[in-house]
Amino acid sequence: FWDFLILFFCLPVVIFNEITKKRLLGDMSCRIVPFMEVSSLGVTTFSLCALGIDRFHAATSPQASTRPIEQCQSIIAKLAVIWVGSMTLSVPEILLWQLAQDTSPVSGGVTEFCTMKPSSNLPESIYSLVLTYQNARMWWYFGCYFCLPILFTVSCQLVTRRIRGTEKKSECRGTKHGQCESHLNCTIIALTIIYGLCTTPENVCNIVVAYMSPDMSKQTLDLLNLINQFFLFFKCSVTPVLLLCLCRPLGQAFMDCCCCCCEGCGPDTTSSEGSADSKLKTEMSSSIFFDKPRETPPPLLALGTPC
């Protein structure tokens, strides 16, 4: 959902700015777009960490069939912590950026661009905090939004494989549950690889700009910033597609929802049996895929009456 917000709001603003050299929504877009982009990195980072912890719990559980189903309130609480934490850590971006104007040497027209410069109207204490954040921004990006999710995911995967190789090697090998566990681990690894590849150019550009910015022209800096945003939009476009393709129960549910919306959700007697079978298969696969215990069917009642 956050990737959709990035593509829906930030992408049109960036495209409009590159075409017209005017900033859509003015100073507000200069503050909101970086805030949403950094929040997107935080949401992805903490989500990958949460998925790594979930895989570790799945590996250390005695039996998947005895694991209790996680309550909806618990899931919503975890999502709230991820989202609120990501947006809280991105609040300095709102105070760091502001709109600036410059005269183009080629056309002679006035161009608008966003500059990383705290406003002098801020209170002294907040202004000093924003300056501290600006000076440490490069290493904060590199440590929290690049090293943390990659190292955390790799460590959880290594520990999970170690535990499964020593304790549950004979139980999970060849079983359907073991195959689903391996499939989910591969999904998390694929998401981490995509995230790492798409955030590497931004971190490299940040380090280069931090140490070579006095020797670089404004056109070069703008080009590097545009490349960073392109990789961010690419990550936001690829991640949902990759998740729907690799996570079969989620992808099947998404396709069923799309087909239901396209067909108007009308009852069809010819396909009712097929849809029921497909729903049953999806529920069974999702129950195994997400470590939910299967519900035992109710006992058959005797036909007839006591008389």
Q: How is the chain split into domains, by residue range? A: 1-60+71-167+181-248
So what's the pLDDT on residue 126? 87
Q: How far is CA 84 from CA 31, 38, 40, 78, in A?
A: 18, 13, 12, 10
Residue with tokens 């849809």, as numbered in its chain? 275
Give the span between the Cα atoms of 167 and 161, in whole angstroms: 10
What CATH architecture does domain 1-60+71-167+181-248 belong to? Up-down Bundle (1.20)
As a dihedral over the C-alpha atoms of residue 151, residue 153, residue 159, residue 161, rounded to 10 degrees, the angle is -130
| pTM metric for this prediction | 0.74
38 closest CA partner among 1, 92, 114: 92
pLDDT in tens, 4-13: 888 888 888 8
Give the span between the Cα atoms of 162 and 164, in whole angstroms: 6
Give the span between the Cα atoms of 219 and 120, in whole angstroms: 26
pLDDT in tens, 148-181: 999 988 888 888 777 766 655 555 444 666 677 7
